[in-house]
């Protein structure tokens, strides 16, 4: 039975301000129309042959059909179904070549899937990835969750950066945990505050992680980045789904808003 049938508010949870002092709203997608904006491009398939499993041993095959707009939300659905040589399907959307930003505040309001093997992510890659490849392009993970009940996974989210440090792969991440409930229960807002000095990660407006990006070797984080929304299934980090994982699973995104200093 869904939440509406139970008389619950299906839109409950934290909502961020629509404006901030000292900032301009430079781009937003509220997903309120009947069709997805052409800012978004679908990445399809399983990454093969060049990057099978999308570099992480993931199990899903990405399709357009797993994304829809409904009730003012962008909904990505992960399903247990065959496509190509894979046993799961999902969607992955990017703004590469359409919307990229250097610095600003990003707020994304979303409700996450749950369960072992689920790997939702709201993240960014350097616009120059086609020229310099990963990790030299840099990566900013605004939100990642690896689902499952063990280790409180369904109630823990991670914020991480990845980069190339003088020829060596480097990363730096932090995480935060809900005091009660899980990220599938209601909406939360996942944010970064990014300027020439640092990147701060926030959950529902509360800081939980920060990195100083002024040292040499972190040049990646002073260049334009585009957005990626996806729900992966399986992979090196979450591990594979098991008998406890229920399908289909959804990630619903209410909005993305990008603000920059005046």
Instruction: Give the catalytic positions in this structure.
Output: 139, 144
Classify residue 236 by burial, with Cβ atoms within 10 Å: 0-12, 13-18, 19+. Answer: exposed
Asked whether the beta carbons of 254 and 10 are under 8 A apart, the reply is: no
> How big is the chain, counted in residues?
262
> Phi and psi of 220, rounded to 5°?
-55, -35
Half-sphere exposure at residue 61, Cβ-oriented, CA atoms within 13 angstroms:
12
Q: Residue 38: how many CB atoms within 10 A of its CB?
A: 7
- Residue 118 forms beta bridges with which residues? 233
Alpha carbon distances (Å) from 153 to 19, 65, 140, 184: 32, 28, 20, 11
- Which residue is it, tokens 């979450």? 238
Residue among 101, 103, 99 at smallest CA distance from 39: 99
**What phi and psi values does residue 199 have, to the nearest 5 degrees?**
-120, 125
């Amino acid at each position: 039975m869904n939440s509406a049938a139970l008389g619950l508010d299906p839109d409950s949870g934290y909502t961020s301000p629509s404006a901030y002092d000292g900032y301009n709203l430079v781009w937003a997608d509220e997903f309120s129309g009947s069709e997805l904006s052409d800012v978004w491009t679908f990445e399809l398939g399983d990454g093969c042959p060049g990057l099978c499993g999308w570099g992480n041993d993931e199990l899903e095959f990405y399709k357009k059909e797993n994304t829809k707009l409904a009730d003012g939300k962008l909904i990505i659905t992960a399903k247990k179904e065959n496509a190509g040589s894979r046993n799961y399907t999902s969607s992955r959307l990017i703004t590469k070549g359409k919307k990229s930003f250097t610095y600003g505040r990003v707020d994304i309001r979303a409700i996450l899937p749950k369960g072992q093997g689920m790997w939702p992510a709201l993240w960014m890659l350097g616009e120059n990835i086609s020229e310099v490849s990963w990790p030299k392009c840099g990566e900013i993970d605004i939100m990642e969750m690896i689902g499952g009940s063990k280790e409180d996974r369904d109630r823990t989210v991670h914020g991480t950066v990845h980069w190339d440090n003088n020829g060596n792969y480097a990363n730096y991440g932090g995480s935060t945990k809900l005091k009660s409930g899980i990220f599938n229960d209601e909406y939360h807002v996942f944010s970064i505050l990014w300027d020439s000095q640092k990147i701060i990660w926030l959950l529902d407006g509360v800081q939980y992680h920060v990195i100083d990006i002024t040292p040499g070797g972190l040049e990646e984080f002073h260049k334009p980045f585009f957005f990626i929304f996806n729900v992966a299934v399986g992979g090196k980090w979450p591990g594979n789904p098991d008998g406890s994982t229920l399908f289909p699973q959804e990630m619903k995104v209410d909005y993305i808003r990008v603000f920059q200093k005046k």
